[in-house]
Copies of this chain bind each other. A is one copy, B any other.
Amino acid sequence: MPIYNAPTKDIQFVLHDLLRVSEQDIPGFDELDADFTGAVVTEAGKVATEVLHPLNMIGDTEGCVLENSVVRTPTGFKDAFAQMKEGGWTAMDCDPDYGGQGLPYVMHTAAQEPFVSANMAFNMYQGLTHGAYSAIYAHGSDAQKQTYLPKLTTCEWTGTMNLTEPHCGTDLGLMRTRAVPQDDGSYRISGQKIFISAGEHDMADNIIHLVLAKISGGPEGIKGVSLFIVPKFLVNDDGSLGARNGVSVGKIEEKMGIHGNATCVMNYDDATGYLLGEEHKGMRAMFTMMNEARLGVGLQGYAQAESAYQNAVAYAKDRLQGRAVTGAQNPDGPADPLIVHPDIRRNLMDQKSFVEGARALTYWGAYLIDRAHRNKDAEADGLISLMTPVIKGFLTDKGFEYATAAQQVYGGHGYIEEWGMSQYARDARIAMIYEGANGIQALDLVGRKLAQDGGKHVMAFFEMIKTFIKENEANEALKKDFLDPLKAASKDLQAAGMYFMQNGMKNPNNALSGSYDFMHMMGHVCLGLMWARMAKAAMEALDSGATDKEFYKTKIATGRYYMARQLPATGMHLARINTGAETVMALDAANF
């Protein structure tokens, strides 16, 4: 049975040593002192360890079951969901006007991490609801907000996002679901949607489906797509539940992982829907939530790797195999623990240095979202918009890679479901696909975000790195192990950007053939920046006489590993990018 314990100290380190949240000039951040955030994260960690994690394997084994149009969630999910509601965990960053606690998004993110690590499939019921909340909050009429938000805040009702159809996922312009306007201002929605997470289940009184559809007679393609609220049960004027709406679950999918979450085919058959936001502006409404939603998926990526890592470490300390090449470390035992072996360490350090860097990047992203929303800071908004595909794409690719690496530490036992390591890899796999497959993230980054606002945001990102390096160059310890590698990696990234500018004009395929490499390269530079900053923060803590010296020294050592061993990947990505489209596009489709 796998273990999970929330890495509270690491989370606190990011919030306070790195981001210094309570010192930030952002409304609501003054509340976020170390005692408060520590209490919240500790409590979230307790719920994660005691309530959610024990249900993780149960959810995987039992899965969700569809019987007579009703979806039964795995044993224990219902009770656990009730505890999440009661504990107020679903309402943390929601607006107090609708029953929320009004806390910053970065606090919500820090509290979510343990839930996601402990039970990703379970936490999706709440995560999707939060997405629906955000969409209605941003685009709903006052009446819609009054009707839906209080119930979504508490998760008495849950939410879904309905985008994909059997024949179209990424290219939503091909959508066939139709909305026919009615005299009373509502619409009749008909069509089929697939891959609807939490589309139907037994843990809420009502399910609020947000559905993309085309209003008859509207523009062709993506410009004719609108967003609708389609409740499972219609809501009466007094807020009570009325008639069952024309929406039903067609089947639930058998998936590689996240078995505890019901992934549904949803059939809309003249269902009553209410326009959310403006006609034909459905994509814009979806995009509003995109940074948050994608950051949440990036978090899933590293959070699964964190869980897998904790177990790999425990196994590597416990399992006796072979002897250290430099002499027995456990001479009285029959063999040394796995953790003495350099290649096991290499593997564990890869995982550890990634996960801690990824956490810093994600929380920094959440902080930028707060700064953008609460301070109406356009620069922060531009920066998080640039970072979003990197956070989503890089952290989920690497999250899966390292969940798989953790599985490898177990040898044969890693392949046996009973040990739980396969589940981390299988669950993590979806994060590379949904909320925009990672190839689309790379396209978004290189095709849109780099040039956005005249390239202002990527320039600001490079400037930020340059300034940080300049300001700290006198710090010898930081310079050699952190600033110099960061400078080299950042130079590689800029060279790639330059290649795109010079060669993408004559043939855009020269840029797009390197988009995936660029996303990974930028991910490494981001984590390099995070590690340089964390190392600086740790050095400062040691200088100012922090008592927990081992913790800070470990941070620095872990960062040194990342800079020495992971950052050199940028050179490889640059070399690939610099070969352009020629070899990528050389073959006729028939010759594949």
Per a CB cutoff under 8 Å, which of B171, B516, B572 touches A335?
B171
Is B429 a contact of A411 with CB atoms below 8 Å? no
Interface on chain A toward B: helix, strand, loop, or mixed SS? helix
**Chain B minimum-CB-distance residue to A421:** B256
Q: Please, what's the 1-or-0 string for A570-585, where 1 marks a CB less than 8 Å from any CB in chain B?
A: 0110011001011111
Assuming A254-B418, A342-B513, A439-B408, is B571 touching A583 (CB within 8 A)? no
Whether a CB of chain B sits under 8 angstroms from the CB of A554 is yes
Is A341 a contact of B254 with CB atoms below 8 Å? no
Residues of B within 8 A of A422 (CB): 255-256, 429
Q: Please, what's the 1-or-0 string for A442-456, where 1 marks a CB less than 8 Å from any CB in chain B?
A: 110001000000000
Whether a CB of chain B sits under 8 angstroms from the CB of A565 is yes
Residues of B within 8 A of A513 (CB): 342-343, 345-346
Which stretch, A35-43, A122-130, A458-466, A555-563, touches the partner chain B? A555-563
| Residues of A in contact, count (CB < 8 Å) | 95
Is A584 a contact of B572 with CB atoms below 8 Å? no
Residues of B within 8 A of A585 (CB): 342, 345
A507 CA to B9 CA, complexed, in Å? 34
A residues near B, CB below 8 A? 164, 167-171, 173-174, 194-195, 253-257, 313, 316-317, 320-322, 325-326, 334-335, 337, 339-349, 352, 400, 404, 407-408, 411-412, 414-418, 422, 425-426, 429-430, 432-434, 437-439, 442-443, 447, 507-509, 512-513, 515-516, 550, 554, 557-558, 560-561, 564-565, 568-569, 571-572, 575-576, 579, 581-587, 589, 591-592
Interface pairs A-B: 6 shortest CB-CB: A568-B575, A342-B512, A256-B422, A171-B321, A561-B583, A572-B572
Q: 21 A-B Cβ contacts within 8 A?
A: A169-B412, A171-B320, A171-B322, A171-B335, A174-B320, A174-B335, A194-B412, A254-B417, A341-B439, A341-B512, A343-B515, A348-B592, A349-B587, A408-B433, A414-B433, A415-B429, A422-B429, A560-B586, A564-B576, A568-B575, A571-B572
